[in-house]
Amino acid sequence: MLAAFPAGSDGADSLLQALRPRWEALGMAVAEHRLDPRAPEEELVRELATAVETSSGPVVGFSLGARLALQAAASAPLPCLVALGFPFHARGEPRSRPGLDLLASSGVPTLVIQGTRDAHGSRADVAGYDLPDHVRLHWIDDGNHRFAPRQRSGLDPAALLDDVAAATHAFVGGARA
């Protein structure tokens, strides 16, 4: 079962809602855990660590959810993490790389699925990063932070989400082997 953590939303996350039926169609059960964005970060990390311990399966985190999952891994080891729209850096600050440091120190087998135009780590930004061996990247063409392409690209948004789901399935299956 995938334990899914949204980007700090206490409501339903539209990206995870769109991906859930795709993951389920691939045979992956999903348990979504909502986080209170008003809670202090330390509390969110503890809450996430508890959820990870009870699920004991692969974890999917979107943006802040992925960053918090890596922080929680210090007390609740993760078998693997799929990081959707990983915040390598703050929007508009590609030289600050707190997300890169967190990835490097975690040691958790991680698949980062990132839009090539993500404001928190575009393809051009990440090209200059030295990623650790336990981190793999999967790029979504013309995708923004939520993998939506520009209309002029001619790319089908649904097909891009299918790609996200397929990459998740392939990685999680390989991580369990």
Cα angle 109, 112, 113; round to 5: 140
Checking if the pLDDT of 5 tops 80, the result is no
Question: Sorting pLDDT into bands at 50, 70 and 90, what band is 38?
Answer: confident
- The CATH T-level fold of domain 2-176 is Rossmann fold (3.40.50)
CA distance 170 to 156: 21
pLDDT band at 2 (very low <50, low <70, confident <90, very high): confident
Rg (CA), the chain: 15
Domain boundaries, the chain: 2-176
Q: pTM here?
A: 0.92
What pLDDT was estimated at residue 56? Answer: 73
d(CA 149, CA 116): 9
Continuous segment of H or E residues that includes residue 97: none
